[in-house]
Structure 1
Amino acid sequence: MSAAPGLQDPSLDVPSLDATLAEAFRLIAHGVADRRHPFHTPTLATLAADGAPAARTVVLRGFDAAARQLRIHTDQRAAKVAELAAEPRASLHLYDPGAAVQLRLAGVATLHGTDPVADAAWAASRDFSRMCYAIEPAPGTPCAAPPPAPLDAEAGRPNFCVILLRIDRLEWLHLAAGGHRRARFAWPEPGSLPGAPEAGWLVP
């Protein structure tokens, strides 16, 4: 399997770290825009109340590369909201089997339920998506049978929440017959945006 397009530096015959990070960001943006792309539905990992890791599939709704910020929508009543409120550090795992590329992201999440961030995200959502947040009772509640589908999309607004995840660390892994490539990028100061990250290659 050849390297991903644009990653090879002909003068060094090794991938460029700058190009690798740019490609990682390009793939994340592609995952937001294309619901059929594997990066559209990554796995979000948080710390549960009992101290165990908790992982679930989420949908990428937005990506601001300059701010290193991902946007995810969820229900205010979901367990991950309480988990992130208690411990905002989280990880995101993305894998594209066609390109044989894995990304592992780690950073700090902020929650937005009744502010302009949530208002803008809600306004841009389709009724089909809004219905998800109108379900009763709350997600995760034991029930004798699956509840009926909601009928009023606007009823879900009080339960709607936006998770913004700032990327502080990113690991890239490309699996290739000619040699796997693994790179790590870290922004050392929490919340820092200007400047390049610390970057280097890792043994795959």
Structure 2
Amino acid sequence: MAGGGAAASALSSPWRALLQRALDANAHLKHSTFFQLATVGGGGRPANRTVVFRGFQEHSDKIQINTDARSNKVIGEIKEWPLGEICWYFTDSWEQFRISGIIDVMDGSSPDPAKLQQRERAWFASSVKSRLQCLGPSPGVPVANDDHVKDVHIDPSAGPVDAYCLLTLDPEKVDYVNLKSNQRLMFTRTQEGDESGDWMARK
């Protein structure tokens, strides 16, 4: 089962069933778990980057993304302008998902115990190799000595390091296109801000 996390449980949203089917159909392609995340950058300009799907938050349709809290500019911009949109294209099945919603930033400074627990669960669900990235040089800083990177080690049983940050995108609208069947579906959550809200679909 591709994607990890609570991928197959409680598929309550119609678009999520389509997404899981696409993940399964493209599971043999490593890049099928990569997608583009667009946010609002400084001065209202668009900012975009490629990130990795880290599964769904438990009992939720929220999409999880790992990032480095030392990316102060990026984290600060998202906290100020939490709107985001995912563009996810599956090259084998010719399916595209554009998923827009609100992004929540969960770093070690969060005052919410539930968010800290979710951050910890996501940390342990990540591979040790992925966790090691949070112990390397800060993003955007040149690496003067490769030996420093090679010598970094981590205790697999240790909790999240300060640099680890979990992002979750809470979907509000999903635009699905299947280029093979020429099918397009638009899904809109009828009660924005309410995870239990119903979804309305139209062609």
TM-score range relative to shorter protein: 0.7 to 0.9
Map of 1:88 onto structure 2? 82
Q: 2:166 aligns with which of 162, 165, 174?
A: 162
SS in 1 for 2:191: coil
Shift of 1:140: 2.1
Map of 2:112 onto structure 1? none
Larger Rg: 1
For the 8 Å contact 2:101–2:170, the answer to whether it is kept is: yes
Map of 2:105 onto structure 1? 111
Are 2:133 and 1:132 equivalent residues in the alignment?
A: yes
- Map 1:1-204 onto structure 2 (within 5 A): 21=15, 23-27=17-21, 30=24, 34=27, 36-64=29-57, 67-78=60-71, 79-114=73-108, 115-136=116-137, 138-141=138-141, 143=142, 145=144, 148-149=148-149, 151-153=152-154, 157-176=161-180, 180-201=182-203
SS in 1 for 2:195: coil
For the 8 Å contact 1:102–1:173, the answer to whether it is kept is: yes
Shift of 1:29: 5.8
The 1-side partners of 2:161 and 2:85 are apart by 26
The 2-side partners of 1:117 and 1:65 are apart by 9
The 2-side partners of 1:122 and 1:163 are apart by 12
Deviations 1:130-189 (A, max 9, x none): 1101122x2123x3757641613369711000001111100000112xx51111101132
SS in 2 for 1:158: coil
The 1-side partners of 2:103 and 2:77 are apart by 11
Unaligned 5+ runs, structure 2 = 1-11, 109-115
The 1-side partners of 2:49 and 2:202 are apart by 29
Alpha carbons of 1:183 and 1:146: their partners in 2 closer, same or farther (altered >3 Å)?
Answer: farther
Shift of 1:111: 1.1
Identity %: 23
For the 8 Å contact 1:128–1:153, the answer to whether it is kept is: no
Shift of 1:191: 1.9
Map of 2:6 onto structure 1? none
Deviations 1:72-121 (A, max 9, x none): 11100224322211111100010012111000000001111221111122
Alpha carbons of 1:22 and 1:52: their partners in 2 closer, same or farther (altered >3 Å)?
Answer: closer
Number of residue pairs matched by the alignment: 179
Q: TM-score, normalised by structure 2?
A: 0.75
For the 8 Å contact 2:86–2:100, the answer to whether it is kept is: yes
Q: TM-score, normalised by structure 1?
A: 0.75
Shift of 1:49: 1.3
The 1-side partners of 2:152 and 2:176 are apart by 42
